[in-house]
C-alpha cells in the first residue's frame, strides 16, 4: 500500500486537491445591509444564495473557512433523490397525504434539479446522470428494494427493480441478490459543483465572503445583526446553513442531530481494462447494508469508497486501510491500485432521517437536509428557502418546519452509531 497517502489536512479532501475552479473570495470588512444573510458556504448556503439572488433579493453568504470546507467538500459525490431509510408511503402515513406528498415530491425531483442547474450554468464538475444503484445484500433487503422501486415508480419516478444478473451487469460486482436503480441519480465532483453554484450566485448578484466566521446573531428592530471579527451584516432574514459544523454558534441547534464521522478514500486511477468491467455506465452504488458499502469512479478513474468505523487510537490511518481492503474484497480485485487519498467528514443525522427547517426566531431559520443525501436535498432545499426569503410562510414549504427539538441524552447518544457498528456488521452477516 502507498505510504504517501494524502490525508485530511485543513479540510483537504480528494475533491479539494483535484478541483480546477478555485477562486478566492475576500473577507467581509465593515458593514453591509441585505435582505438575506446566509451563514455557511456549503450546498445549502450556496443553492439558497443562487435561487434568492435570481429572485432579485440582496444576499450575503458568510463562510468561516473557505467554500465547501464542510461536508460539501468532503462527501462522496453521490446524487441521490430519495431518503435514507425512509420510503414514500411511510412518510405519507406519518405526515399525511398533503404534507407527506409534498416532501416526497420535493425529494423525487431533487437530482433533476441538480443536473439541471449544472447544465443551465455550465458547471464543469464531472457530472454523470446515469443512475444511482442500491444493491440488496440479503433476500429480506431484496424485498425492500423491489417495493421501494415500485413506490417511487408509482410517483412517476424513473426507477427500476433489478435482478441479480442486472446488478452484476451494471456494476461488475457479484454476490448481490438484486436491487433497484433510480435513473435520475448520478455522481459529480462536489467541490467543483459547489464552486459552480457560487459563481452562478455571484453572477446573479449575491456577495460571498470567505474567512468570515459569524460570532453572533442578534435581533434588531427590523431584522438581525450578524457580527464577524471585521464587520457586521444587517439582514431582514437569516439562514443558518452550518450543518454539522456549526460549533458554538447555536448550542441548541447542535443538540438536534447526531454528528456522524465518516471516512472516505480514493485509490490511484484504475487501468482502462478494469474500468471497462466495473460500473461501465459510471453510476454510483450504495448497498442496503447497515455498514453501508459504497463505490463510484471519479473523472480520473479513481475508485472512491467510504465507511464508518469504531473510532479510537490510530483510526485516521487504520480505517482508510480497512475500507481499501473491503473495496478490494468486494470487487474481487486483488490488484486494486493503492490508496491515494483519505479524508473524513461529519454528517448531521437526525433521528427520523427526514430533512427539516428549524424555527430559530422571526425570520431566522436553519436548514438540515443531510442524512447522507445532502447533495440533491440541500440543493432542493435552497430553492424552497429562496421562496421563504421572498415572503412564503415557512409552514407552506414542503419541508417540516418546527422549533428545535434537542435529542435527549445527546452527549451519550451522539456516540451510538460508532459504538453500535460491530453489532451492525454482525447483523449484516446474519441477514
Ligand atoms: C463523508 C461524507 C460523505 C457524504 N456523502 C454524501 C454523498 O455521497 N451524497 C450526498 O448527497 N450527501 C453526502 N453527504 C452529505 C452531504 O455532504 C451534506 O448533506 C451536505 O454537504 C451539507 O451541506 P451544507 O451546506 O448543509 O453543510 P456544510 O457543507 O457542512 O457547510 C457548512 C458550512 O458552514 C460553515 N460554518 C460553520 N459555522 C460557521 C460560522 N459561525 N460562520 C460562518 N460559517 C460557518 C462551515 O465552515 C461549513 O463550510 C456526505 C457527508 C459526509 C460527511
- The full set of domains in the chain, from first to last, is 14-75+191-257+351-413 (3.50.50.60)
pLDDT at 7: 55
Residues 6+ apart with CB under 8 A from 21: 124, 192, 195, 196, 199
Candidate from 71, 248, 365 with most ligand 1 atoms within 8 A of CB, to mutate: 71
Among the ranges given (46-60, 297-311, 343-357, 405-419), the one the predictor scored with the smallest mean pLDDT: 405-419
User: For residue range 200-248, what is the model confidence (pLDDT) as tens digits?
Assistant: 999 999 999 999 999 999 999 999 999 999 999 999 999 999 999 998 8
Distance 277 CA to ligand 1 centre (A): 33
- The three cell numbers locating residue 301: 478513474
Give one DSSP letter per residue of 10-71, joined into a string: TT--HHHHH-S-----PPP-EEEEEEEEEE--SHHHHHHHHHHHHTT--EEEE-SSSTT-SG
* Contact indicator for 72, 38 with CB cutoff of 8 Å: no
Closest residue by CA, ligand 1 atom 35: 40
Distance 209 CA to ligand 1 centre (A): 17
Pick the closest to residue 376 from 18, 175, 116, 39 (CA basis). 116
H or E element, residue 374? helix 374-389
Candidate from 46, 60, 283, 372 with most ligand 1 atoms within 8 A of CB, to mutate: 372
| Residue 92 φ/ψ, nearest 5 degrees | -65, -40
In terms of phi and psi (left: phi > 0; alpha: psi -120 to 50; beta: otherwise), the region of 11 is left
* Contact indicator for 201, 36 with CB cutoff of 8 Å: no
pLDDT at 207: 98
pLDDT at 5: 57
* Contact indicator for 35, 389 with CB cutoff of 8 Å: yes
pLDDT at 349: 87
Query: Which residues sit with their C-beta closer than 6 Å to ligand 1?
Result: 39-45, 62-65, 69-72, 74-78, 80, 213-214, 241-247, 249, 262, 264, 306, 345-347, 370, 372-376, 378
Atom of ligand 1 nearest to the CA of 44: 25
In terms of phi and psi (left: phi > 0; alpha: psi -120 to 50; beta: otherwise), the region of 30 is left
Atom of ligand 1 nearest to the CA of 76: 8
Q: Regarding predicted confidence, which is higher, 419 or 380?
A: 380
Determine the number of helices (DSSP H) and then strands (DSSP E) in the chain: 15, 19
Amino acid at each position: 500500500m502507498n505510504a504517501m497517502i494524502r490525508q485530511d489536512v485543513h479540510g483537504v479532501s480528494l475533491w479539494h486537491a483535484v478541483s480546477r475552479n478555485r477562486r478566492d473570495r475576500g473577507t467581509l470588512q465593515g458593514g453591509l445591509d441585505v435582505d438575506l444573510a446566509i451563514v455557511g458556504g456549503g450546498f445549502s448556503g450556496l443553492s439558497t444564495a443562487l435561487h434568492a439572488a435570481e429572485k432579485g433579493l440582496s444576499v450575503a453568504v458568510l463562510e468561516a473557512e473557505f467554500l465547501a470546507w464542510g461536508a460539501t467538500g468532503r462527501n462522496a459525490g453521490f446524487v441521490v433523490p430519495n431518503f435514507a431509510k425512509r420510503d414514500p408511503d411511510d412518510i405519507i402515513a406519518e405526515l399525511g397525504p398533503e404534507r407527506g406528498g409534498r416532501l416526497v415530491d420535493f425529494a423525487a425531483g431533487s437530482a433533476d434539479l441538480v443536473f439541471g442547474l449544472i447544465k443551465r450554468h455550465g458547471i464543469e464538475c464531472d457530472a454523470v446522470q446515469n443512475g444511482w444503484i442500491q444493491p440488496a445484500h440479503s433476500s429480506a433487503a431484496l424485498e425492500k428494494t423491489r417495493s421501494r422501486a415500485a413506490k417511487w415508480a408509482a410517483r412517476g419516478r424513473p426507477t427500476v427493480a433489478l435482478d441479480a444478473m442486472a446488478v452484476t451487469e451494471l456494476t461488475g460486482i457479484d454476490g448481490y441478490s438484486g436491487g433497484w436503480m433510480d435513473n435520475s441519480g448520478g455522481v459529480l465532483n462536489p467541490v467543483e459543483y459547489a464552486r459552480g453554484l457560487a459563481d452562478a450566485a455571484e453572477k446573479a448578484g449575491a456577495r460571498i465572503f470567505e474567512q468570515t466566521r459569524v460570532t453572533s446573531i442578534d435581533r434588531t428592530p427590523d431584522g438581525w445583526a450578524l457580527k464577524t471579527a471585521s464587520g457586521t451584516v444587517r439582514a431582514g432574514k437569516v439562514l443558518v446553513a452550518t450543518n454539522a459544523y456549526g460549533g458554538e454558534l447555536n448550542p441548541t441547534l447542535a443538540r438536534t442531530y447526531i454528528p456522524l464521522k465518516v471516512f472516505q478514500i480514493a485509490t490511484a486511477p484504475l487501468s482502462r481494462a478494469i474500468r471497462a468491467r466495473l460500473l461501465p455506465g459510471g453510476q454510483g452504488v450504495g448497498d442496503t447494508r447497515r455498514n453501508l458499502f459504497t463505490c463510484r469512479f471519479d473523472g480520473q478513474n479513481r475508485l472512491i469508497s467510504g465507511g464508518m468505523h469504531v473510532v479510537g487510537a490510530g483510526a485516521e490511518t487504520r480505517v482508510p486501510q480497512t475500507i481499501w481492503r473491503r473495496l478490494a474484497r468486494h470487487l474481487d480485485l486483488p490488484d486494486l491500485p493503492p490508496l491515494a487519498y483519505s479524508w473524513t467528514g461529519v454528517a448531521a443525522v437526525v433521528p427520523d432521517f427526514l430533512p427539516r427547517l428549524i424555527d430559530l426566531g422571526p425570520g431566522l431559520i436553519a436548514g438540515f437536509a443531510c442524512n447522507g443525501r445532502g447533495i440533491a436535498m440541500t440543493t432542493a432545499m435552497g430553492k424552497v428557502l429562496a421562496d421563504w426569503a421572498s415572503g412564503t410562510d415557512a409552514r407552506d414549504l414542503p419541508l417540516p418546519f418546527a422549533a428545535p427539538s434537542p435529542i435527549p441524552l445527546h452527549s451519550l447518544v451522539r456516540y451510538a452509531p460508532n459504538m453500535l457498528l460491530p453489532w451492525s456488521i454482525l447483523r449484516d452477516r446474519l441477514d
